[in-house]
Chain A
């Protein structure tokens, strides 16, 4: 440190004065850092560990928690609804993430080249991201209604196509919920992709053009590889988003939350219902532990797959 060569000072009388400037800096830094550390420990880590403990009990809010070992996990893995919900959660993830990234990349790629009304168009794409999920869920819910009030079925009818049940179908409901969810997140992803595209130095493109590379080759050899940090961020970010999907589902299916017949129910909604409709806090905590594990594995896996190869 900077004090290594300092000349000896007259013996200081107080402890604080005896410390070197470097040490003082470190102490100050840690004092300020302590606040978020304490905050995280109390607000985040403590409840997380508490949830692990709760998942081994039968706590129902009213009676004191009793340790029941892995009973909640046994019950969960034997429950066909849990597996249905598990499958739904992954469907949201494996359809939602690639589709939303692909669409947002294509839009960002072309929007980047648009000069006319660039800001306005970008704002239009970003607008849904600012809208409350609840309000959006309800608007889409009415879009999906059967005739005479559903807009989408109205258009289908006008074109002479058969009516679609959308939210009232075990096969179409999940996709119907997913579409507005993708649309809502698009604005954010487009902005991030555009920032990534702008960050690629123009000289690379110029050099490539001088060397006679076509547009497709430029996209494949320069744009996509150099966008990797952006893509990694968005993949992780949107995956976590889709794994935790809740508000769209809940607002579009309030009459029969997660229905019909659990066809749209994600894990988070199941946790919510177990905890706050049935008050089975222990069982809900076990489901939370499963969600936590999935999120952890998916995030680590993605970071590993998309890591920088050196």
Chain B
């Protein structure tokens, strides 16, 4: 080989290396382990990498219980993810802790976000900035066991009165009066605390929180809502907190006729050995309905800069695109966060999806400061009534004070 030839080859090699290093950006995506979510994300990453060959996305997952700790620890170590998933209720902690950065309005225009997404996306807004966008949203509905309902010869309930009647018709007890099959599950640690807070309190004429975000349920409406909920066990004896350990377990085992749960449970219930149906959460006597909606948003990590930030923005744009939302709906079963992707005729005609989609229209999103802590106050509130025989009003008062204390310390 001539010297010229060698030189040319060398130059080509050098330039190839240089180009390679300039283009190959690797970004990290973090979420918690949940089989179908990880699979859906693998699919999205494959599609994204095909469209953007210069970017590779590495997915890292952690068990749900460790997830927040890992994100916080990674930030302390200075090695946070570029794009990460977070529950909307963690936003304050993540923003105050400097874990995520605001979305650049030039890339993610506010008017478009507000026009295209369901209004609950506003829970990701702090001041003038959005801190994340959801791929999918969740809402609640009432699941019922079709076999048990047929056996009892009843139709799924449309309002709270019918709910009580249906629960009474489907509860089975043994000779000692112990429940052997529950009419409805009572599981405050599951989704029931949302049902109580955003649905029952409102249906009794109250508001869970005032405009400033302070506890506002410590009144007659809150007491009536708590009385209704605890009454399912104490008065009507159609459910038992702790029955079969967890509400969803009781329903899956065919040991409960009804349970209130979210879209994320659809996958787990898919292989139930019986037929089940879904209806909207029961309305009150006046036909008023409410629902609780929540979501995991995708945000950009505070440490992403330069070309990694650019790649992260591209990736976030893709995973919140209509195409990604359709994939997420097909694989995970969660509802698309964009109105036009969610409210298609096909989806609205789907007997399983439509109750959840209808719920989204009138859903509320609780502004959490410490989701786990606030849930604990609701669990304790119900336990004081059920286990210690405390009066509904006193327990409610105690819960309101405890939750307000969490909110106050969260604002500091």
Chain A partners chain B: yes
Cα–Cα, bound, A142→B243 (Å): 11
Contact A163–B245 (Cβ < 8 Å): no
Contact A260–B245 (Cβ < 8 Å): no
Contact B242–A61 (Cβ < 8 Å): no
Is B358 close to A, CB under 8 A? no
Query: Of A95-103, A106-114, A275-283, which stretch is located at the interface?
Result: A275-283
A residues 257-304 touching B (CB-CB < 8 Å): 259-261, 276-279
Contact A61–B387 (Cβ < 8 Å): no
Interface SS majority for chain A: loop
Name the distance in Å between B364's Cβ and chain A's nearest Cβ. Answer: 25
Which of B73, B76, B174, B176 is most buried by chain A, counting CB atoms within 10 A of its CB? B176
Contact A259–B379 (Cβ < 8 Å): yes
Name the distance in Å between B234's Cβ and chain A's nearest Cβ. Answer: 14
Contact A163–B387 (Cβ < 8 Å): no
Is A244 close to B, CB under 8 A? no
Is B272 close to A, CB under 8 A? no
Contact B384–A261 (Cβ < 8 Å): yes
Name the distance in Å between B299's Cβ and chain A's nearest Cβ. Answer: 16
Contact B76–A149 (Cβ < 8 Å): no
Contact A260–B244 (Cβ < 8 Å): no
Cα–Cα, bound, A146→B181 (Å): 11
Given the interface contacts A146-B178, A168-B241, A260-B383, does A62 sit within 8 Å of B388 by beta carbon? no
The interface size bin for chain A is: 20 to 34
Which of B93, B178, B245, B255 is most buried by chain A, counting CB atoms within 10 A of its CB? B245
Is A157 close to B, CB under 8 A? yes
A-side contacts of B178, CB under 8 Å: 146-147, 153, 157, 163
Chain A 146-171, CB within 8 Å of chain B: the 1/0 string?
11110001000100001101011110
Is B396 close to A, CB under 8 A? no
Q: Which chain B residue has the least Cβ–Cβ distance from A276?
A: B69
Contact A169–B387 (Cβ < 8 Å): yes
Given the interface contacts A61-B76, A168-B387, A259-B379, does A147 sit within 8 Å of B174 by beta carbon? yes
Q: Which of B72, B93, B245 contacts A141 (CB 8 A)?
A: B245
Is A255 close to B, CB under 8 A? yes
Is A145 close to B, CB under 8 A? yes
Q: Which of A62, A147, A168 contacts B72 (CB 8 A)?
A: A62
A-side contacts of B242, CB under 8 Å: 145-146, 165, 167-168
Is B26 close to A, CB under 8 A? no
Is B308 close to A, CB under 8 A? no
B residues 224-250 touching A (CB-CB < 8 Å): 240-246
Name the distance in Å between B310's Cβ and chain A's nearest Cβ. Answer: 26
Is A308 close to B, CB under 8 A? no
Contact B72–A146 (Cβ < 8 Å): no
Name the distance in Å between B182's Cβ and chain A's nearest Cβ. Answer: 10
A-side contacts of B240, CB under 8 Å: 146
Contact A261–B246 (Cβ < 8 Å): no
Is A256 close to B, CB under 8 A? yes
B-side contacts of A163, CB under 8 Å: 176, 178
Contact B174–A157 (Cβ < 8 Å): yes
Cα–Cα, bound, A260→B375 (Å): 13
Q: Which of A145, A162, A259, A277 contacts B176 (CB 8 A)?
A: A162
Cα–Cα, bound, A278→B178 (Å): 38
A residues 72-92 touching B (CB-CB < 8 Å): none
Is B75 close to A, CB under 8 A? yes
Q: How many B residues have CB within 8 A of the partner chain?
A: 35
In the complex, besides A142-B245, A170-B387, A261-B387, 15 extra interface pairs with C-beta distance below 8 angstroms are A60-B97, A62-B75, A62-B98, A145-B244, A146-B179, A146-B243, A148-B180, A148-B255, A163-B178, A255-B245, A256-B189, A256-B376, A256-B383, A277-B373, A278-B373
Is B380 close to A, CB under 8 A? yes
Is B370 close to A, CB under 8 A? yes
Name the distance in Å between A177's Cβ and chain B's nearest Cβ. Answer: 15
Cα–Cα, bound, A170→B380 (Å): 11
Cα–Cα, bound, A170→B387 (Å): 7
Is B8 close to A, CB under 8 A? no
A-side contacts of B189, CB under 8 Å: 255-256
A residues 238-262 touching B (CB-CB < 8 Å): 255-256, 259-261
Is B9 close to A, CB under 8 A? no
Contact B379–A147 (Cβ < 8 Å): no
Is B286 close to A, CB under 8 A? no
Cα–Cα, bound, A165→B240 (Å): 11
Cα–Cα, bound, A74→B50 (Å): 58
Name the distance in Å between A4's Cβ and chain B's nearest Cβ. Answer: 57
A-side contacts of B75, CB under 8 Å: 62
Name the distance in Å between B226's Cβ and chain A's nearest Cβ. Answer: 16
Is B96 close to A, CB under 8 A? yes
Name the distance in Å between B175's Cβ and chain A's nearest Cβ. Answer: 9
A-side contacts of B255, CB under 8 Å: 148-149
B-side contacts of A255, CB under 8 Å: 187, 189, 245-246
Chain B 266-293, CB within 8 Å of chain A: the 1/0 string?
0000000000000000000000000000
Is B154 close to A, CB under 8 A? no
Cα–Cα, bound, A149→B240 (Å): 14
Contact B380–A261 (Cβ < 8 Å): yes
Cα–Cα, bound, A256→B72 (Å): 24
Is B372 close to A, CB under 8 A? yes
Cα–Cα, bound, A142→B93 (Å): 36
A-side contacts of B174, CB under 8 Å: 147-148, 157
A-side contacts of B384, CB under 8 Å: 261
A-side contacts of B370, CB under 8 Å: 278
